[in-house]
Structure 1
Amino acid sequence: MISGPTDGAPAILRGRRGENTISLVDAEYVVIRHLTLDGGGEPVAGVVAEARGDGVHHVTLEHLTIRHYDHSQGNTGITTRVPARGWVIRHNEIHDVGTGMYLGQPDGTSPFVAGVIEHNHVHRTLGYNIQIKHQTDRDGIPGMPSQPYETRIRYNVLSKAERGSDGARARPNLLVGHFPPTGPGSEDRYRIAGNLFYQNPHERLFQGEGHIELHDNLFVNDAGDAMVIRPHNHVPRAVRIVNNTVLATGFGIRVDEPDRAYRQVVAGNAVFAGDPLQLSGGIAGDDNFTTSREDAVHYLLAPDAGLAALDLYPREGALPERAGSVSSAPVAGANRDYNGRLRERVVWGAYGGPPGPNPGRVDGIGPRVPGCAPCR
Structure 2
Amino acid sequence: MIKPLVALIGTILLANMAAGSTAYTATPDTYVALLRELAPGDQLTLSPGIYERGLPIHNLNGTVHAPIVVTGPDGTLPALLLAHTGRNTVSIVNSSHVTVRNLTLDGAGLPVDGVKCEGHAQWAHHITLANLDIRGHGNNQQTVGISTKCPAWGWVIRENRIVGAGTGIYLGNSDGNAPFIGGLIEHNVILDTIGYNLQIKHQNQRPELPGMPQERSVTTIRDNVFSKEQGASNGPMARPNVLVGHFPLVGPGSNDIYLVHGNFFYQNPGESLFQGEGNIALYNNLFVNHAGDAIRIQPHNDTPRTISVFYNTIVAFINGIVLLKREGDPEYSQFVAGNAVFGKPPLSVPERALSANLTNRYEVAGRYLNAPFAPLEKLDLYPRPGRLKNLPMETHTLHSYEGWDLGFNGESRKNSFAGAYAGEGRNPGWPLSKNRKP
Question: Is contact 2:338–2:393 with CA below 8 Å preserved after alignment?
Answer: no
SS of the counterpart of 2:353? coil
CA distance in 2, matches of 1:33, 1:12: 12
Asked whether 1:333 is paired with 2:403, we answer yes
Bigger proportion of residues as helix: 2
Q: 1-side partners of 2:230 and 2:95: how far apart?
A: 35
* Aligned mates of 1:171, 1:99 — CA distance in 2: 10
Instruction: Note if 1:310 corresponds to 2:376.
Output: no
Q: Which amino acid aligns with 2:391?
A: R
Does structure 1 residue 267 correspond to structure 2 residue 337? Answer: yes
Give the CA deviation at 1:80.
0.2
- Partners of 2:288 and 2:210 in 1: CA distance: 41
The residue aligned with 1:294 is 363
Distance in structure 2 (CA, Å) of the matches to 1:286 and 1:152: 25
Q: Aligned letter for 1:69?
A: H
What is the Cα deviation at residue 260 of structure 1? 4.5
Q: What amino acid maps onto 1:186 in structure 2?
A: S
Deviations 1:59-103 (CA, angstroms, capped at 9, x unpaired): 000011001111110000000000000000010000111000010
Q: Percent identity?
A: 48
* Matching residue within 347, 353, 357 for 1:284: 353
- The aligned counterpart of 2:416 is 346
8 Å CA contact 1:4, 1:11 repeated in 2: yes
**In the alignment, structure 1 residue 204 sits paired with structure 2 residue 272:** yes
SS at the partner of 2:378? coil
Partner of 1:180: 248
Cα distance, 1:321 vs structure 2: 1.6
Q: Deviations over 1:130-163 (max 9, x none)?
A: 0000000014344321210110000000000000
Greater fraction of residues in strand:
1
- Aligned equivalents of 1:368 and 1:223: distance in 2? 18
Count residues with an aligned counterpart.
Answer: 367
Identify which range, 247-256 or 311-320, moves more after superposition: 311-320
Gapped regions of structure 1 (runs ≥ 5): none
8 Å Cα contact 1:270-1:288 kept in structure 2: yes
Partner of 2:206: 138
Query: Counterpart in 2 of 1:5?
Result: 73
Q: Are 2:312 and 2:338, in contact at CA under 8 Å, matched by a contact in 1? A: yes
SS in 1 for 2:131: strand
Q: Deviations over 1:197-241 (max 9, x none)?
A: 000001011100000000000010000111101111111000000
Aligned runs of 1:164-175 on 2, under 5 Å? 164-175=232-243
Deviation at 1:191, TM superposition (A): 0.2
1:286 CA drift (Å): 4.5
Pairwise CA distance, 1:330? 2.4
Cα distance in structure 2, aligned partners of 1:224 and 1:369 = 20
Question: Is contact 1:228-1:255 (8 Å) kept?
Answer: yes
The amino acid that maps onto 2:188 is N
Structure 1 window deviating more from structure 2 (329-338 vs 268-277): it is 329-338
Maintained 8 Å contact 1:150/1:191? yes
Query: Is the partner of 1:73 in helix, strand or coil?
Result: coil
- For 2:130 and 2:318, how far apart are their aligned partners in 1? 35
Is 1:93 paired with 2:161? yes
- The corresponding residue for 1:357 is 426
Conserved 8 A contact 2:229-2:267: yes
The equivalences for 1:110-125 within 5 A come to 110-125=178-193
Q: Matches of residues 221-236 of structure 1 in structure 2 within 5 Å?
A: 221-236=289-304
Distance across 2 between alignment mates of 1:256 and 1:369: 31
Q: Report if the CA contact (8 A) 2:376-2:433 is conserved.
A: no
TM-score (norm 1): 0.94
Contact 1:87 1:116 (8 Å CA) reproduced: yes
Amino acid at match of 2:372: P
Q: Which residue of 2 aligns with 1:61?
A: 129
- CA deviations 1:4-54 (Å, max 9, x no partner) are 012211110000101000000001011000000000001100000001110
Please tell me the root mean square deviation across aligned C-alpha atoms, in Å. 1.7
Q: Does the residue aligned with 1:296 lie in a helix, a strand or coil?
A: helix
Counterparts of 1:141 and 1:193, CA distance in 2: 30
Whose radius of gyration is greater, 1 or 2?
2
